[in-house]
Amino acid sequence: MNILAGGADELVGRVQPLFDLLGQKTWRFGAAPEQANAVKLACNLTLACAIEAMGEGAALAGAHGIPAAGFIELITSTLFAGSPVYKGYGGMIAEQRYSPAGFKLALGQKDVRLAVEAGRAHGLPLAFGAALQTVLQAAVDHGDGDLDFAALGKHAARQGR
């Protein structure tokens, strides 16, 4: 586990021994706790965008008669080799394995919404995030909310039918 910490140096320093026991590494992001929270939201937004990109890429390949597994193998062996996100979520998309959920799609929807709201609060429109909010809402409305975040691939493939 990685720990994202924000706060006064003295306060973070006081709990650092506990962080060392709990986590692999502590990442310091700013003097205010909400700064670390913003980084967490940014990470989850990036993760959601990567999963959606894989899902849409697999759906495009599938629409042309190419099995998702072949497409996913290609990108995880070349473009995104060594990426645990692409290997893990890509494998789930290729296998159409969306449960049990390691991280529910509905929770991803919440995090993307919070990221977009955090951007707007600072005058930053997050175009991918806003578009992904719409996609996630449609997937949840279709009943995929309790499935793993990888079900974005299922949703992308369903759009062509």
Using one digit for the tens of pLDDT, what is the confidence trace for 132-156?
A: 999 999 999 999 999 999 999 999 9
> What average pLDDT does the segment 92-121 reach?
96
Q: Which domain holds residue 99?
A: 38-158
Query: Quick one: CA dihedral 124, 129, 137, 89, positive or negative?
Result: negative
Name the CA dihedral angle for 133, 137, 139, 141, rounded to a multiple of 10 degrees: 180
Total tally of structural domains belonging to the chain: 2
| 67 upstream amide cis, omega within 30 of 0 | no
- Joined tokens for residue 107: 């929770």
Same domain, 66 and 2: no
One domain for residues 67 and 20: no
Q: State percent of the chain over pLDDT 90.
A: 98
Residues 65 and 91 in one domain: yes
What average pLDDT does this structure show over 14-22? 97
104 shares its domain with 148: yes
161 — pLDDT class (breaks 50, 70, 90): low
Tens digits of residue pLDDT in 33-70: 999 999 999 999 999 999 999 999 999 999 999 999 99
CATH of the domain at 81: 1.10.1040.10
Question: Does 1 lie in the same domain as 56?
Answer: no
Q: What is the pLDDT of residue 151?
A: 96
For the segment 51-60, what is each residue's pLDDT rounded down to a tens digit?
A: 999 999 999 9
In angstroms, rounded to a whole number, what is the distance separating the alpha carbons of residues 14 and 90? 40
Question: Is 40 part of the annotated catalytic residue set?
Answer: yes
Same domain, 24 and 45: no
Distance (Å) of CA 159 to CA 14, 60, 73 = 51, 11, 23
Choose, from 40, 87, 110, 154, the residue flagged as catalytic.
Answer: 40
